Structure 1
Amino acid sequence: MNRKRGLISDAFISKRKKAVTERFGLSDVEGTYMKQIYQLVLRFVRLIYHVGVSYDTQIVLKHQLYSLVSDKTMVDKGVNKLREQGDLLMFQLGFDSEAFGLVFASDYKAKVLAAQDGCDTQETVQKFLDKVLTSCTDLSFSKDQMLHNFLFSDAEITQLVKSGVLTVRDAGSWWLSIPNSGKFTKYFIQGRKAVLNMIKKSKYNEVLKVDLEDRKTPSQVKFHMKYHIHDIVGAELVESIPTTSGTLLRYVDD
């Protein structure tokens, strides 16, 4: 790993850990659990930094957390609490109806505003971040909500779509979205396919997790191998089987 990249990652993680420790008291059971979920999200963010490829936004998929915490209800509860407190934002990712991306709210807002600097949509986007994201955890918004609850005009809604913070869901409704996330989605999908193919080409369609992590990755895999392994395990695209030799990953036929 590039040394400079490593130092950036360590500083990033230390800062986040300090912030969440101050926010959640360890004597508070619920707070402690949220702290654990928060740190799991950090863990996956670090895997993206580790790759050495630059992305506008660091996206963690919620189901990746399921690969580390078997109780999905507890994961969902922790994630939702962090969303309610304004620490995390969640997005429905267009390539899969069951894929939900998690992004740190502070990072999202900072990068969205930086991209809007000098644009004619800047004022409207700032209004959206201040009025909507600070008070609402919805993944999508209807026209009635935007016009009457949040007091945006039709022209302003068009500006929000233009800026990329909203994307069309269907006639009269929009998803909250991550601007310029196409590069991430492209690399994520092609990486997932490549890793699954590596398993399918193994004997009996299975491979030890440690062996897969050590393999030379094809050019299609841009993220850290562990990032993709947590994806395919959490999405239940492979079975994760404990053995005396370590965890065995077995491809699941459709």
Structure 2
Amino acid sequence: MRFGVLGPLAVHGNDGGPVAVPEGKVRALLADLLVHGGRPVPADRLVEDLWPKDPPGRPLNTLQTKVSQLRKFVGADRVVLSPAGYRLRVEEGEVDADRFERAAAAGSPGALAEGLGLWRGPAYAEFAEAPFARAEAARLEELRLTAVEELAAARAESGGAAAMAGELGELARAHPLRERLHGLYMLALYQAGRQGEALEAYEGLRRRLREELGVDPGPEAAGVHARLLHGRVPAA
């Protein structure tokens, strides 16, 4: 099977076809087990995660019902009960987040591009703000941002960052104080022939840093600005 958490929760069977998991609490249970990466989760913890404010009258029995429903979708042998709790049995490469992390760790432009191609939206999209998923979703998002930066940096040095200008611009707007990201966005704009916008992007970053943090851009962003001013940027 394949499990997707880099976007809306998705399940695919051995034949590659999608497996619908429609019921909200069953989807939340699957997401919670996936967050724990195959490690057991105590039943009491699952109850708290699934019903944080309004637990059912017989919570453990209700949890067992949800587990039974999940087993119908993913297979009875996939959701394992042990003295330590319930765990989801997953094999290597079955979860897209694991494949992405391996690609990001490889670090080559090809591997980074392949790993980033696995993303379909925010990690654990519908559960990203749930307490049980929030930290893992944030960790994966930070890894994604770093991977985008590494890929953009590699492409910028060979003159090929222009194609990423749109993506970098969206991320820069979402992370207005992330200096390395903004520096790479400036390089991408410059290589796309948008030199004026690249310089404007630097001024915007400098203004925000001064207004919100009382600091000037650090050496990396300032160094990119100097490269732009002196035309020391690899041509596209």
| TM-score between the two structures when normalised by the length of structure 2 | 0.28
Structure showing the higher strand proportion among its residues: 1
| TM-score between the two structures when normalised by the length of structure 1 | 0.27
Structure showing the higher helix proportion among its residues: 2
Which protein is bigger by CA-based radius of gyration?
Answer: 2
